Structure 1
Amino acid sequence: MYENSVNSKRTGLIYAACFLVLAVVYGIGGSRIDYAFASDPLGPRVVPVMLAVILGLLCFFYLRNPGEAEEFPRGATLLRVLAVPLTLVVAVLMLETAGFLLTVFFIVTVIAALFGAPLKFALAGGAVQALLWWFVFSYLLEVYLPKGIVFG
């Protein structure tokens, strides 16, 4: 019992440290956002920096008293946990070249497959989500989305 409690607290400390690093990186990235001063009195920096500060404070509280946490994942679960952020990094890298539609299709399809969806459902879900979000951002919100070489 005591061994599990120590491992559980260690796992909590690892998670808190990882999220603290994320908060610092996110805060630095948010503080570097350039904007026209006349566009908004606060500018777009406020929300990411504020979220980074809140996350950082919560991480410090959790580092001080980690409490109980789940055991660190192993085996296939660990591979899935690591595959999700890797998929998102690949998606960010391919966004300009592949375009928004293919990137969203890629993200949804891969993550659905990682969590056990049959391939035909993962592909269908990826296609529906890509078209849905393209319609929402392009037509309803009128946001520029990269088309990529395929659709450009």
Structure 2
Amino acid sequence: MISDRIFGAVVTLVALAYIASATQIQTSFLSDPVGPKTFPMLIGAVAAICGIIVVLRPDEDPEWPQLQTLGALVFSVIVLVCYAYALKPLGFLLPTAVTAAILSYQISPRPVPAALAGTGLSLGLFAIFKFALGLSLFALPAAFHG
């Protein structure tokens, strides 16, 4: 319960600081009747209300994951960061297949189904993104297509 209360207090303080910074927005003479300050102030007010509710009505103390689970999460984040950096030089298919296979293996440690899932996701997502959504993706590294 204490972690929820701390989180709620931090959210409330950040929301109040956000509202205070929204009051500093300069308005031009050609602004709409609501003005540019209203939307950020509404967002800050909703966040402050949510933070206060969390402080007043916290959940039971959570059961934090074991160290092994936290290590798996950190590893997943590292894999996803490497994926983001690998997309441009290596194209879409290879990095997506490898990343999806690694993450699938973490969910169910069976190598063949993980590799098939990675390959299937890579090809399926490429088809959806390239042909259905019209995104300009490169399937392979730039060196392969000049």
Q: Which TM class, normalised by the smaller chain length?
A: 0.5 to 0.7
State whether structure 2 residue 74 is matched by structure 1 residue 82.
yes
The two structures, once aligned, show a CA RMSD in angstroms of 3.1
How far apart, in 2, do the equivalents of 1:145 and 1:109 lie? Answer: 20
Report whether the alignment pairs 1:128 with 2:120: yes
2:37 aligns to what? Answer: none
Structure 1 position 144 matched with structure 2 position 131: no
> Which of 86, 94, 101 is matched with 2:86 structurally?
94
Query: Which moves more between the two structures, 86-95 or 123-132?
Result: 86-95
Residue pair 1:97, 1:149 contacting (<8 A) in 2 also: yes
Unaligned segments of structure 1, at least 5 residues: 1-5, 21-49
> Aligned AA for 1:120?
V
Match of 1:108 among 100, 104, 121: 100
Distance 1:150 1:66 in 2: 55
> Which sections of structure 2, spanning at least 5 residues, go unmatched?
12-39
Identity in percent: 20
Q: What TM-score, normalized to structure 2?
A: 0.59
CA shift in 2, pair 1:115/1:60, >3 Å: same
Q: Supply the AA of the counterpart residue of 2:138.
A: P
Residue matched to 1:28: none
Provide the TM-score with structure 1 as the length reference: 0.57
Matched positions, count = 109
Q: 1:70 to 1:127 in 2, by over 3 A?
A: same
**1:32 is matched with which residue?**
none
Residues 61 and 121 from structure 1, CA distance in 2 versus in 1: closer, same or farther, beyond 3 angstroms?
farther
Amino acid paired to 2:103: I
1:91 corresponds to which letter in structure 2? Y
